[in-house]
Structure 1
Amino acid sequence: MYDVDVDMLNREAAKILWRELQVFFASGKTIYVSTDLDLLEVAVAIKRDEADKVRHWQSEGMVGAVTDEQALKWYQANSIVWSVVIKPFVLVQDKA
């Protein structure tokens, strides 16, 4: 199990323009997190390799790869998203 500094993750979570994350999206490294979930809770679960929890969220459609449609919507709206990095991924959540 990985040691996770939740306070550090909280400090690193930030609002960012979706357009600034395009390179990560293009390389398949962006993960969508539903607004029904806590972004940091998901980040910790991924970092700790809590596969059952993450698979459950995925099966419910609450966590998964950012789709082309979602990316285009955020791009066209010049959206700001919440983000946190869990290498090699960037987790993103709609700010709204």
Structure 2
Amino acid sequence: MSDLPSELMIKLNRETSKIDWQALQRFYAQGAVLVVAPSLDLVATAAAVAEDNSAYIADLLKQDLLKKADEAQAATWLADKCEVWAVVVAPWVLVQRERKLADE
């Protein structure tokens, strides 16, 4: 098996960017935002969603490592005017907030 990234991973990596959480409110209101835990690789998770790797995705959901954005989290992120890393895997927008450093 090759350690080289797949074409899908390269494509998703190029399409990943930081965006203000406020700009994603329309997608959040539609229930189309999935939050990826900081411990996961955003691009690899997006690739699993794009490839419909249902067993892996189900495991992430069960472990609460991937979930729909909830109201409390969305309100906090909006109030904090935070930025998230985001990538679109239609119909989803996957987002990930950067880990905070221990001294923050």
Which segments of 5 or more consecutive residues in structure 2 lack a partner in the other structure? 1-5, 100-104
Measure the CA separation in 1 of the matches of 2:7 and 2:95. 19
User: Which residue number in structure 1 is paired with residue 86 of structure 2?
Assistant: 83
Residue aligned with 1:5, SS: helix
User: Which residue number in structure 1 is paired with residue 95 of structure 2?
Assistant: 92
Following superposition, which runs of at least 4 residues in structure 1 exceed 2 angstroms of deviation? none
Identity value in percent? 33
Equivalent of 1:5 in 4, 8, 16: 8
Q: Does 1:37 align with 2:40?
A: yes
User: Which residue number in structure 1 is paired with residue 3 of structure 2?
Assistant: none
Equivalent of 2:27 in 24, 29, 34: 24
1:34 aligned partner, one-letter code: A
> Residue 4 of structure 1: CA displacement?
5.7
| TM-score, length basis structure 1 | 0.94
Q: Which has the larger radius of gyration?
A: 2
Count of residue pairs the alignment pairs up: 94
